[in-house]
Chains A and B, each alone.
Chain A
Amino acid sequence: MTDLSTRYLGLTLPNPVVASSSPLTEQIVDLRRLEDAGVSAVVLPSLFEEQISIESNDLDLYLSHGAESYAEATSYFPDMGSYNLGPTGYLTRLAEARKALRIPVIGSLNGVSTGGWTRYARKMEEAGADAIELNVYHLPTDPTQSGLDVERMYFDLVQEVVGTVKIPVSVKLTPFLSAPAHVARRLGELGARGLVLFNRFYQPDFDLEKLEVVPSLNLSSAWTLRLRLRWAAILWGNTSADLAISGGVHTAGDVLKSMMAGARVAMVASSVLRHGPEHVRTLLDGVREWMASHEYESIRQMQGSMSHQHCAEPAALERANYMRVLRSFALRGK
């Protein structure tokens, strides 16, 4: 029997397909469908500290706005007593998910302040999360902030959170680090149990008619996977943290490639959004089929097998690959 099991963040998982943070991991009913389809763990949508602050501030502002100004209307809204604001709703959903599912539930946290990261990480742990994924969505737009500053921010953050909670902590990385390998190693040293490659930043578009910058949200494509494969392969063996690939995992082949690059798990979001949770079953069947036909015994057997350290042509993962592609392109062009 083919062994699909893997270990990620110290958790033993029956297979390497994990549901990444997406709208499909929000509702219990969808989470159950994912579990039934075979995912081995789920990452809940991120708890955004900034959103909590905005919601609180907005509620405070607009419940108070215009109040105590005019004798006939000293307020404009009834006092509802309590509001399901801030982390409460999220934590309740997390606790419900933990209760409803057999598989591990990973909370995802997007903070903005040091206090926020640690406070909410602790609350997630208390609510029953099996692990926490730190979703560091940071755009270094400040021209006075150096690459070192950015790295230090990552390191401080991980150190703080790891020191606060007992459950394993992973970090979802940006692909735009100047020295990803160094960062990956250092994060492992600081206690990060996993690194998720990579965060997909939503790229805004321009509306030419309205002259506005408009947000856009596109599902990942097959191309998305390439960057992640390369970096998983490079980082494998260079960090104590488990690697996860998130972005562009659409087919059974993508899962297999992820494993071979060195990932412990392959996270799916766009493909299940597109095809439904049941797509996971197709992926797993495909993985099993391919492994059987190629006589692989276990997932662990292939993990890292095509990493930078183990592949036949390490240069293909480095700059030489770039040069080769350029040359072949030039030839084709002629």
Chain B
Amino acid sequence: MSKSYMMMDGNEAAARVAYLASEVIAIYPITPASPMGELSDQWAAEGRPNAWGTVPGVVEMQSEGGAAGAVHGALMTGALATTFTASQGLLLMIPNLYKIAGELTPLVIHVAARAVATQGLSIFGDHSDVMAARATGFGQLASGSPQEAMDLALVAHAATLESRIPFLHFFDGFRTSHEIARVYPLSVEDVRALLPEGPRLGHHQRALSPSQPTIRGTAQNPDVFFQAREASNSWYRACPEIVQQAMDRLAVRTGRAYHLVDYVGAPDAERVVVLMGSGAEVAHETVAALVATGEKVGVLKVRLFRPFPSEALLAALPPTVRRIAVLDRTKEPGSAGEPLYQDVVTAIAESSAREDGGAPRLVIGGRYGLASKEFTPAMVRAVLDELRQPAPRNHFTVGITDDVTHTSLPWDPDWSTEEPATVRAVFFGLGADGTVGGNKNSIKIIGEEAGLHAQGYFVYDSKKSGSITVSHLRFGPHPIRSSYLISRANFVACHQFHLLERMEMLALAEPGATILLNSPHGATGTWDRLPRRVQEELIAKRLRLFVIDALAVSRGAGLAGRINTVMQTCFFALSGLMPLDQAILAIKRGIQKAYGSRGEIVVEKNFAAVDQSVAALSEVPVPAVATSTIPMRPPVPAGAPEFVRLVSSRLIAGEGDQLPVSALPVDGTWPSGSTQWEKRDLAETVPVWDSEICIQCGKCVLVCPHAVIRAAVYPPELLAGAPAGWKSAAARWRQFGDQRYTLQVSTDDCTGCRLCVEVCPVKNKREVRLKAINMGPHEPIRDAERANWAWFQALPAAPRDALSPDHVKDVQLLEPLFEFSGACAGCGETPYLKLVSQLFGDRAMVANATGCSSIYGGNLPTTPWTSNALGRGPAWANSLFEDNAEFGLGMRLALDQQRQRAAVLLRQLAQFAGLDVVEGLLSPEGRGETEIAARRAFVGELRRRIAVVDDPLARELAALADTLVRHSVWIVGGDGWAYDIGFGGLDHVLASGRDVNLLVLDTEVYSNTGGQMSKSTPRGAVAKFAAGGKRSAKKDLGLFAMSYGHVYVAQVALGGDDSQAVKAFREAEAFDWPSLIIAYSHCIAHGYDLVHGLEQQKLAVQSGHWPLFRYNPVLITEGRNPFQLDSKAPTVPLRSYAYNETRYTMLAHSHPEEAASLLAQAQQDLLERWHRYAYLAKAPPGFGAAATPEAPHD
């Protein structure tokens, strides 16, 4: 057994083995499996060899389907291959899985098992994905901890080679894939020993080769297909034994013994639970505690799920067992029971039949832990207790309250099996303050240097700006199986003072626990500033409170706002897990390791922070009586709609787990427009308007990523009754006469990104550093601005027909119907979506590809797409990542069909509708706001007139009447979708000729999954999967789309030319055929302060990296060149743009010559592209006439 151990998460554990055991690795990012691919790519870039001394070939594909295809081909050609995936990714691989298994081809796919999207998407862990693949013929092996993820990964690779059955090796997404724990790593020798030469050579020898040609993948007729399918039976029969042999060989080398099914519990158990994955570790811990109290219970950990090891399962069951509860971490609606339950039932039934007698065993099944729902010892106990009942409930659920179909078992949340000797620490922080990074460091130190068992698990926010993180850390002398969150902490750290009034964090503290608080108020000033609830908990639980002004210490050390080092040092000082001097040395070693490559100055600053921390830490005496009058912040205001108050507010407060089934929509339909109720109050500084010098250009309104800056023009008489301090100026619109203009900021929704200040073109003549909008402290103006915002919202909207939406100045007066999203502060994507919502929102349908825009657009608890005062607004839906263009096309097809049907009905019911209405609605439809308003009025009148008609056709027409007003279909997604996984669909939809608008929010990288390379990534930029800088040029998606001739194509960048962008959106929408807008979107994954996002956009345009153009086929019909180049020839070198961004500079720092070479090539790329475009722009009139659009399709 190896004596050395390391701290690592399940993904790394599995990836280490997979890498060593493979020659070809095809990857595609998907949460939570992405890190396995990223590590493989990184190791390959570093030249790390596999177990046989060669560096595996790692290739990123365009989708998981592509990865499976590439793996299939590599296997067929004799290579040892692997891939990593989860959820929808695994589902995309399924067709290939059948093939690979049918061909008896050794392969292991490592799966960080994750929920499959159904009524909603979830990135969290359960077994829905692997269960969906259980019929493919793949073997399935389940791991329940990071150590098992490493060990069983090797068992899977060994077993697949010997059995020829391909395997899915899976472990629970996040709970195991992202849990950091002690792992005894397997060595290269271990891998070589378990993957002996014979089976490897056998695999190579079966490869397709022209030297010994064979044919595979034949098409078979009814005469032989069936028999051929049965021909592999003996391989499946032999497989379980082969898996066990591999486990045994591993045990000989490591001392860690596994079995196909492992039993833990009383030898004379009467009641057992059966389950797979990390939940089995919870059950293990629970059973051990119950057996210690004399209960006759046990747990069967099923490790091999396919081929299902019936014999092993029966053999592992103590003969005394009479009642069995099988727990599935998946749901199969409409089935007789979930998969593991059914297999166990079958095994027992078949055994009973075979053995002819014996006492019958009762088997019940239930569901738990879907999408990482907490699964605790109390829940395991509830299941075991249920087995005691005379008639235990079957098909139960545990972990939720099902008050509709009453499947749920009750459990006692106060029952715990936490070991007293374990230090249980919970840390509340922000993503931006480095809390998680610091804690990961602490785990490594304590786990690797203090000799303690350690576990770390991290809960992240679903918002990307101001995101809150909660770290759960356990340290103790014994192995830790507690794969559930800490609910009884003996150490609670609050790294941000303001979180105290938002989160009930001390509810987690057990009596006598230590509380560490980052407080700007010092030892003497803190108590009086604590919310009353916090004071009461401190007193009632006799908690010890320590405070430090971590921000002051970190700033003193030169660390701008990152307090992780300070708080980490304080944790060591208070926890006593290690002698402090030893801990400080270890922390510094950790700092050197983590930051050493970033320069001495960075290391020195962190060292200084460590050295100054302990002295700045002090204990606050806890008085006997609570004195505070500060209340906890309500999650939503009292005036919020009922659903928001009853449901959304619970999610915001972190109480979503407590909502019963009845509180939730049955089909995933949620009310929109809920972000307006979640006032997050994130920004310390907010924009302040200078009404005297503002020229009312509207640029700040246009670029605000969170739609917090709004403008209004209104009659001066409305000023009466305005709040004190209300600002206004004479409106600078001819058509609005002497009306007033106000620019108002919803400061509670602002993220403080400063893009508005950056874009403001006005400078104060007396003090040029000031603009017409400037950042100022939020605190002094918070209350006044809340009152102003409330007043502003009551102002009437500007009449749309009085505005000219081609002008940015007028666009500011159009109400945004996309507001306050959880996107990153300074996001480059959201202004485009807001623009769509302003221009067309009241008649827009949005099909949104999975990715950043579907997360900030649709992640609970609150969502940003909203409606206007008339109740109209964008209707939004997310289907998948890969199918979005098709999904949106489907919307258009349906709308067109419904419109046709409505037109037929309208004619049939003309006598009731009236000729004026019939003519009004069947006449050609105008594009202007006036025409749309008139048409809507006709629809309203139609509804009124046919409401009294008792005819099914009239009722049908009433239901379809809205489609007689032109709907605007927007198909939205990122470059990962448009350039890669959804490219085929995008192409087809462009070819379809249908009236849809495709908007590509192009960040040149997979942003949502953490910055992986897409085909939009420019040459020379570093991305994950392109660690050495992307070597090929960016795909020219615009040119491709133009090649159809009938597609409107525009490339835009708000920071490059905002009026060109606005024009492009208007033209695209007005075009009756498909249109494609490729929108430059600066992104956090580019690595610079996004306050400079618009400046970078301008440089992208000026350097020629991002030429602006519009290709409008309508111009062909006018005898004009459809291609208009809207930006000038490159005027600045590419380096002036690129080397402002870390994605480029990190290569220049790490591989300067390579970077210089790639940059030179990229410069050449853009010059060539520019010449191509310049040529197109000069093409003679009539160019492209062959592609003249036909009549519209409706």
The interface bits of chain A over 30-64 (1 if a CB of B lies within 8 angstroms of the residue's CB, else 0) are 00000000000000000000001101111111111
Considering the complex, give the chain B residue whose CB is closest to the CB of A49: B601
Q: Hey, which chain A residues are within 8 Å of B38, CB to CB? A: 78
B602 near A57 with CB under 8 A, answer: yes
The distance in angstroms between the C-alpha atoms of A62 and B1084, with both chains bound, is 9
A59 near B1146 with CB under 8 A, answer: yes
- A73 at the binding interface (Cβ < 8 Å): yes
The interface bits of chain A over 73-104 (1 if a CB of B lies within 8 angstroms of the residue's CB, else 0) are 11111111111111001000000000000000
Q: Hey, which chain A residues are within 8 Å of B855, CB to CB? A: 72
- A329 at the binding interface (Cβ < 8 Å): no
Contact of A76 (CB < 8 Å), options: B35, B560, B1010: B1010
A73 near B1008 with CB under 8 A, answer: yes
The interface bits of chain B over 588-632 (1 if a CB of A lies within 8 angstroms of the residue's CB, else 0) are 000000010111111000000000000000000000000000000
- B763 at the binding interface (Cβ < 8 Å): yes
| Cβ distance B190 to chain A, nearest Cβ, rounded Å | 25
Overall SS of chain A's interface: loop
B597 near A82 with CB under 8 A, answer: yes
Q: Hey, which chain A residues are within 8 Å of B1023, CB to CB? A: 77-78
A64 near B1024 with CB under 8 A, answer: no
Given A67-B437, A78-B1024, A83-B598, check contact A72 B824 (CB 8 Å): no
Q: Hey, which chain B residues are within 8 Å of A77, CB to CB? A: 1011, 1022-1024, 1085, 1087, 1142-1143, 1146
A69 near B1150 with CB under 8 A, answer: no
- A140 at the binding interface (Cβ < 8 Å): no
The distance in angstroms between the C-alpha atoms of A276 and B458, with both chains bound, is 60
Considering the complex, give the chain A residue whose CB is closest to the CB of B465: A69
Given A63-B1146, A67-B437, check contact A81 B597 (CB 8 Å): yes
B1146 near A80 with CB under 8 A, answer: yes
- B460 at the binding interface (Cβ < 8 Å): yes
A56 near B1085 with CB under 8 A, answer: no
- B31 at the binding interface (Cβ < 8 Å): yes
A65 near B1084 with CB under 8 A, answer: yes
Given A57-B601, A68-B458, A85-B599, check contact A76 B1087 (CB 8 Å): yes
Given A64-B562, A66-B824, A84-B1152, check contact A56 B1084 (CB 8 Å): no
Contact of A73 (CB < 8 Å), options: B458, B1011, B1089: B1011
- B183 at the binding interface (Cβ < 8 Å): no
Give residues 98-149 of A contacting B (CB, 8 Å).
none
The interface bits of chain B over 166-203 (1 if a CB of A lies within 8 angstroms of the residue's CB, else 0) are 00000000100010000000000000000000000000
Q: Hey, which chain A residues are within 8 Å of B46, CB to CB? A: 81
Q: Hey, which chain B residues are within 8 Å of A74, CB to CB? A: 35, 178, 436, 460, 1010
A61 near B560 with CB under 8 A, answer: yes
- B568 at the binding interface (Cβ < 8 Å): no
The distance in angstroms between the C-alpha atoms of A85 and B602, with both chains bound, is 11
Given A70-B467, A77-B1011, check contact A86 B1150 (CB 8 Å): no
B42 near A69 with CB under 8 A, answer: no
- B1149 at the binding interface (Cβ < 8 Å): yes
Considering the complex, give the chain A residue whose CB is closest to the CB of B1155: A84
| Cβ distance B647 to chain A, nearest Cβ, rounded Å | 22
Contact of B460 (CB < 8 Å), options: A57, A59, A69, A89: A69
- B41 at the binding interface (Cβ < 8 Å): yes
- B431 at the binding interface (Cβ < 8 Å): yes
Q: Hey, which chain A residues are within 8 Å of B1143, CB to CB? A: 77
- Work out how many contacts link A and B, with CB atoms closer than 8 A: 158
A66 near B1084 with CB under 8 A, answer: yes
Number of interface residues, chain A, beta carbon within 8 A: 37
- A330 at the binding interface (Cβ < 8 Å): no
A64 near B434 with CB under 8 A, answer: yes
A56 near B598 with CB under 8 A, answer: yes
The distance in angstroms between the C-alpha atoms of A69 and B619, with both chains bound, is 30
Give residues 1018-1043 of B contacting A (CB, 8 Å).
1022-1027
A80 near B1027 with CB under 8 A, answer: yes
Q: Hey, which chain B residues are within 8 Å of A212, CB to CB? A: 768
B461 near A70 with CB under 8 A, answer: yes
Q: Hey, which chain A residues are within 8 Å of B469, CB to CB? A: 68-69
B1022 near A69 with CB under 8 A, answer: no
- B432 at the binding interface (Cβ < 8 Å): yes
- A312 at the binding interface (Cβ < 8 Å): no
B42 near A86 with CB under 8 A, answer: no
Give residues 85-108 of B contacting A (CB, 8 Å).
none
The distance in angstroms between the C-alpha atoms of A78 and B34, with both chains bound, is 12
Q: Hey, which chain B residues are within 8 Å of A61, CB to CB? A: 560
Contact of B1149 (CB < 8 Å), options: A55, A64, A68: A55
A68 near B437 with CB under 8 A, answer: yes
Q: Hey, which chain B residues are within 8 Å of A67, CB to CB? A: 431, 437
- B1007 at the binding interface (Cβ < 8 Å): yes
A68 near B434 with CB under 8 A, answer: yes
A63 near B598 with CB under 8 A, answer: yes
Most buried by A among B440, B600, B1007, B1152: B600
- B577 at the binding interface (Cβ < 8 Å): no
Considering the complex, give the chain B residue whose CB is closest to the CB of A116: B601
The interface bits of chain B over 735-767 (1 if a CB of A lies within 8 angstroms of the residue's CB, else 0) are 000000000000000000000000000010000
Considering the complex, give the chain A residue whose CB is closest to the CB of B124: A71
- B123 at the binding interface (Cβ < 8 Å): yes
Given A66-B431, A73-B1010, A78-B1023, check contact A59 B42 (CB 8 Å): no
The distance in angstroms between the C-alpha atoms of A77 and B1146, with both chains bound, is 9
Considering the complex, give the chain B residue whose CB is closest to the CB of A75: B1010
Given A52-B599, A66-B1084, check contact A58 B1022 (CB 8 Å): no
A81 near B1150 with CB under 8 A, answer: yes
B598 near A69 with CB under 8 A, answer: no
The distance in angstroms between the C-alpha atoms of A75 and B1145, with both chains bound, is 17
A83 near B460 with CB under 8 A, answer: no
- B1009 at the binding interface (Cβ < 8 Å): yes
A85 near B562 with CB under 8 A, answer: no
The distance in angstroms between the C-alpha atoms of A83 and B598, with both chains bound, is 7
The distance in angstroms between the C-alpha atoms of A211 and B1088, with both chains bound, is 25
Q: Hey, which chain B residues are within 8 Å of A83, CB to CB? A: 597-599, 1146, 1149-1150
| Cβ distance A175 to chain B, nearest Cβ, rounded Å | 29
B461 near A84 with CB under 8 A, answer: no
Give residues 997-1019 of B contacting A (CB, 8 Å).
1007-1011
A86 near B599 with CB under 8 A, answer: yes
Give residues 831-879 of B contacting A (CB, 8 Å).
855
The distance in angstroms between the C-alpha atoms of A55 and B1007, with both chains bound, is 24
The distance in angstroms between the C-alpha atoms of A36 and B1153, with both chains bound, is 25
The distance in angstroms between the C-alpha atoms of A80 and B1022, with both chains bound, is 10
- B32 at the binding interface (Cβ < 8 Å): yes
A59 near B1142 with CB under 8 A, answer: yes
Q: Hey, which chain A residues are within 8 Å of B599, CB to CB? A: 52-53, 55-57, 59-60, 83, 85-86
| Cβ distance A112 to chain B, nearest Cβ, rounded Å | 11
Given A78-B1024, A80-B1146, A83-B1150, check contact A71 B460 (CB 8 Å): yes
Q: Hey, which chain A residues are within 8 Å of B434, CB to CB? A: 64, 68
B763 near A211 with CB under 8 A, answer: yes
Considering the complex, give the chain A residue whose CB is closest to the CB of B1087: A62
Considering the complex, give the chain A residue whose CB is closest to the CB of B437: A68
B1142 near A58 with CB under 8 A, answer: yes
- B464 at the binding interface (Cβ < 8 Å): yes
The 3 A-B pairs of least Cβ separation, nearest first, read A69-B431, A56-B599, A73-B1010
Other than the given A56-B602, A74-B436, A77-B1011, 7 more pairs (CB < 8 A) read A57-B601, A58-B1145, A69-B467, A70-B461, A72-B855, A81-B1150, A83-B597
Point out residues on A near B: beta carbons under 8 Å. Answer: 52-53, 55-86, 89, 211-212
Point out residues on B near A: beta carbons under 8 Å. Answer: 31-32, 34-35, 38, 41-42, 45-46, 123, 174, 178, 430-432, 434-437, 440, 458, 460-462, 464, 467, 469, 560, 562, 595, 597-602, 763, 768, 824, 855, 1007-1011, 1022-1027, 1084-1085, 1087-1089, 1142-1143, 1145-1147, 1149-1150, 1152
A and B contact pairs by CB, cutoff 8 A, 14 listed? A56-B601, A60-B598, A60-B602, A64-B562, A66-B824, A69-B461, A69-B469, A70-B467, A72-B855, A75-B1011, A76-B1085, A78-B45, A78-B1027, A89-B1152
